[in-house]
Amino acid sequence: MKILVIEDEPELRDILTQSLEKENFVVESAADFFSAMDKVGVYDYDCILLDISLPGGSGLDILKELKRIRKNEGVIIISAKDSVDDKVNGLALGADDYLTKPFHTAELTARVKSVLRRKQFDGQNVTRLKNISIDFDKRELLVSGKEVTLNRKEFDILTFFVANKNRLVSKTALAEHVWGDQIDEADSYEFIYSQIKNLRKKLKDHGSEIEIQAIYGIGYKLTDE
């Protein structure tokens, strides 16, 4: 899996690269409009992370170029401009998703995997991990072939963990993934905690081979060892 990170902020580019490499993706990066245009013209990628405001030009023009040369990369726009226009324009030009800075790397990983999944299995939106199987379209969880009923939030939490398996998922990243970023109450952590407790119990009761560990104070980690 090859991913191109187009981002002009060096620190952020490093973090994105590091984080994606941990997921065993091959990551390349471009720091400005022209090097990005060169790369997309020459190589093929599975997914492109695209910043809108770049030195030398707009990320939206790169998106137009991609569509012009009929490349089928998944594109996720990452922009600091939380403007509705950018989002609408980007999605209208064929971007697959839109992420507003600042975001959690866990959120990005989940989005990247979701885009890749949709591109690869052509509609068959299913992920398997050990003895569990998740159908994203039906929002269904099977453990050893048997269905486990989850409420909506439990399902969202589980899929987020699965996308970030063996990685630390901070409780805020989780809260924002589940609630959107309009929630700013500490109370939502308690709620997340109770949902995870239920989820753990359900997974354990059905004999799943995955486990959710608490990482002291910061968040959680899903392990399949």
Partner 1 sequence: MRLHNYTVLYLSGAMFLVLSIWAAIFYVNMLDEIHDSIDDGLENTKLLVIRKTIEDSTILYKDNFFESNYRIREIRPHESVAFKDVYSDTTFYTENEKDFEPFRMLTTVFKAQNDKFYKLRIISSMVEEDDLIEDLLYSLVSLYVVLIVSMVFVNNFLLRKIWQPFYHTIEKLRGYKISDQEEINFETTRVEEFKLLQKSLDELIKTNRETFNAQKQFIENASHELQTPLAIGINKLELMAEKNDFSDEQLQKISEVIDSLERLTRLNKSLLLLSKIENRQFPETENIDMNVLVKKLAGEFEELAGFKSVNMQIEENAELNILSNKPLAEILVTNLLKNAIFHNQQNGKVHVVLNSNSLTVENSGTEALDSEKIFGRFYKSPQQTQSTGLGLAIVQSIVDIYGFTILYEFNGMHRFTVGF
Applying CB under 8 A, the span of 6-14, 42-50, 114-122, 201-209 interacting with partner 1 comes to 6-14
- Decide: is 149 part of the binding site for partner 1 (CB under 8 A): no
- Smallest distance, partner 1 to C-beta of residue 153, A: 5
**Which of 65, 179 has the CB closer to partner 1?**
179
Decide: 58 and 83 in contact? Cβ < 8 Å.
no
Reduced DSSP (H G I as helix, E B as strand, rest coil) percent helix, strand, coil of the chain, to 5 = 45, 25, 30
Shortest CA distance to 199 belongs to which of 182, 112, 105, 169? 169
**Which of 127, 170 has the CB closer to partner 1?**
170
N-term to C-term CA, the chain: 23
Identify the DSSP state of 124.
-
Identify the DSSP state of 17.
H
- Decide: is 225 part of the binding site for partner 1 (CB under 8 A): no
**Which of 113, 171 has the CB closer to partner 1?**
171
Q: Compute the C-alpha angle 222/24/137, nearest 5°.
A: 60
Place of tokens 């409420």: 151
- Smallest distance, partner 1 to C-beta of residue 123, A: 26
> Could you give the CA distance from residue 98 to residue 207 in angstroms, rounded to a whole number?
37
Q: How many residues bind partner 1 (CB under 8 A)?
A: 42
**Which of 104, 111 has the CB closer to partner 1?**
104
Applying CB under 8 A, the span of 30-38, 76-84, 124-132, 141-149 interacting with partner 1 comes to 76-84
Q: Which amino acid is at 74?
A: G
- Smallest distance, partner 1 to C-beta of residue 104, A: 7
Output Rg (C-alpha) for the chain, integer angstroms: 18
Applying CB under 8 A, the span of 32-40, 60-68, 130-138, 210-218 interacting with partner 1 comes to 210-218
Place of tokens 């994203």: 136
Give contact residues for partner 1 (rule: CB under 8 A). Answer: 9, 11-12, 15, 18-19, 22, 80, 82-84, 101-106, 151-153, 167-168, 170, 172-173, 179, 181-188, 190-191, 194-195, 215-218
